[in-house]
């Protein structure tokens, strides 16, 4: 029974740790200028960021919608 309690406690801690990592900030930004390797963007809720944060940037896909 003691091993089951330890396993349950470890599973709960693991679940809380993975949930905390999964909540990353999502910001909607527009690109203003691009100069070489520097990109200037205007973002809503930019106060969630701090210097040195690592970001993952993906462009929105603009696909044509075809009808009949």
pLDDT, tens only, 3-41? 888 888 888 888 776 665 555 567 788 889 999 888 888
Angstrom distance (rounded) from CA 51 to CA 53: 6
Using CA of residue 18, residue 19, residue 20, residue 25, what is the dihedral sign?
positive
41 neighbors 57 (Cβ within 8 angstroms): no
**What are 29's strand-pairing partners?**
43
Q: Kindly report, residue by residue over 51-60, the tens digit of the pLDDT.
A: 887 777 777 7
Extents of the domains making up the chain:
8-46
- Helix extents (H) in the chain: 2-22
Q: What is the pTM of this model?
A: 0.44
């Amino acid at each position: 029974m003691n091993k089951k309690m330890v396993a349950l406690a470890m599973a709960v801690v693991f679940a809380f740790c993975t949930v905390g990592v999964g909540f990353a900030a999502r910001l909607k930004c527009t690109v203003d200028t691009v100069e070489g390797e520097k990109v200037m963007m205007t973002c809503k809720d930019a106060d969630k960021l701090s210097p040195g944060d690592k970001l993952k940037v993906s462009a929105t896909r603009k696909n044509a919608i075809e009808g009949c």
